[in-house]
Structure 1
Amino acid sequence: MTLKFALPLLALVAAAPALAAKTQPAPVPAPLPIVAPAEIAADKSNELSLDLSNGGRVVIQLRPDAAPLMVERVKTLVRQGFYNGLSFHRVIPGFMAQGGDPKGDGTGGSPLPDVKAEFNSLPHLRGTVAAARAAEPDSANSQFYIMFVPRVSLDGKYTVFGRVISGMDNVDKIEVGEPPANPTKIVKATLGG
């Protein structure tokens, strides 16, 4: 009788490595440098400029080494003029400014399909630019946010695809609100500085 119970227990013990392999967490992505590698920074097509209705300009260093799909999506939308005229619809002091929604309320996106999540090791620091998404990880599309302050609780949960390298003072001047009474708009978005 003892043998009857031992065999199922042995089968379970033998299966344990396979079960453990199925429940292992996803591998941690290799650390990326916070500053863009020289070859990425030298390529001016990796610079996104946003001319804002508050009179300022924001320059973002895109990071195709960290999030190639999201960077390509943003570049495609910029070339189509998609971001021109869109507002920052959700701006929370001490947190972030979110824009890129043609509906202006956080529920819209481009006509293109959603982008697969590209979670990486780039941290959420002041000036970090990342893809906004719904609860589903693979639901990023056209919306993005710019961090006012560091927020480590977001690290590894959103696709970081760039960082402000010039004009952070203009980000600080984006009209606050959810939505703002008089939202700051992207007058023109361009690539190449």
Structure 2
Amino acid sequence: MRKLAAVFALLASPALATGLEIEVSGKANGTIKIDLLEDVAPKHVEQIAALATEGAYDGVAFHRVIDGFMAQTGDVEFGKVDSGNLASAGSGGSDRPDLKAEFSNQPFVRGTVGMARSSSPDSGNSQFFIMFQSAPHLDGQYTVVGQVTEGMEVVDKIKRGSGQSGTVSGKPDVMTKVTVTD
């Protein structure tokens, strides 16, 4: 009976978001549209959509950008540009719990959006990255949460970081507004 009640609760719950619209300012100005893959990573998509709905991603910098690889953002704890200090950007998350990995056979190709994490596969929280090009070594190792459908030209213009870590210095590009779309 308990399992049946859980199924009905799941069916009665509101549908997950289907996408994000990210307004970017800085060196890259424009809009990035992302199709969120709730059928591939439902818990991760739910967390990202909830954080976006709360406005947690608004004003968050692209803090780690490696040319030819990816652009990372989403540190809602330390990545806000209005904090005046981005030195810790990339080391934080949100007040929500970390998520268990939802690995899939989705490949990491140009425009794929993946969930950033520490060395623990079950440490995804709020940070995510967008691929500049294919990276097969990430396949099955990181959770795929979405795919850019419009605005890759904006992604391509995001200010690059330096060194192997890709840490962005100076004035980074910023997600000024992140909206959940239907």
TM-score range, shorter chain: 0.7 to 0.9
How do residues 155-166 of structure 1 correspond to structure 2 at under 5 angstroms? 155-166=139-150
SS of the residue aligned with 2:146?
A: strand
Structure 2 unmatched runs, 5+: 1-14, 80-88, 162-166
1:45 aligns with 2:17: yes
Cα gap change, 1:142/1:48 in structure 2, threshold over 3 Å: closer, same or farther?
A: same
SS of the residue aligned with 1:98?
A: strand
How do residues 27-176 of structure 1 correspond to structure 2 at under 5 angstroms? 45-53=17-25, 54-102=28-76, 103-104=78-79, 105-176=89-160
1:188 aligns with 2:177: yes
Write out per-residue CA displacement over residues 95-148 of structure 1, whole angstroms, 9 at most, x where no aligned residue: 000000131321000110101100001000000000000001100000000000
SS of the residue aligned with 2:168?
A: coil
Rg comparison, structure with higher value: 1
Aligned residue type for 1:164: V
Q: CA deviation at 1:44?
A: 9.3
Q: CA deviation at 1:181?
A: 2.0
Aligned residue type for 1:152: P
Write out per-residue CA displacement over residues 157-178 of structure 1, whole angstroms, 9 at most, x where no aligned residue: 0000100000000000111111
The answer for the alignment partner of 1:24 in structure 2 is none
TM-score (norm: length of structure 2): 0.80
Cα gap change, 1:44/1:135 in structure 2, threshold over 3 Å: closer, same or farther?
A: closer
Q: Give 4+ residue runs of structure 1 displaced > 4 Å after superposition.
A: none
User: 8 Å contact 2:16–2:38 — kept in the other structure?
Assistant: no
Aligned counterparts of 2:154 and 2:54: Cα–Cα separation in 1: 24
The answer for the alignment partner of 2:3 in structure 1 is none
Q: Higher helix share goes to which structure?
A: 1
Aligned residue type for 2:53: R
User: 8 Å contact 2:17–2:46 — kept in the other structure?
Assistant: no
Aligned counterparts of 1:47 and 1:111: Cα–Cα separation in 2: 22
Write out per-residue CA displacement over residues 9-63 of structure 1, whole angstroms, 9 at most, x where no aligned residue: xxxxxxxxxxxxxxxxxxxxxxxxxxxxxxxxxx893120000013210000000
Q: CA deviation at 1:180?
A: 3.4
Write out per-residue CA displacement over residues 62-105 of structure 1, whole angstroms, 9 at most, x where no aligned residue: 00000000000001001100000000000000000000013132
User: 8 Å contact 2:112–2:147 — kept in the other structure?
Assistant: yes
User: 8 Å contact 2:16–2:46 — kept in the other structure?
Assistant: no
Structure 1 unmatched runs, 5+: 1-42
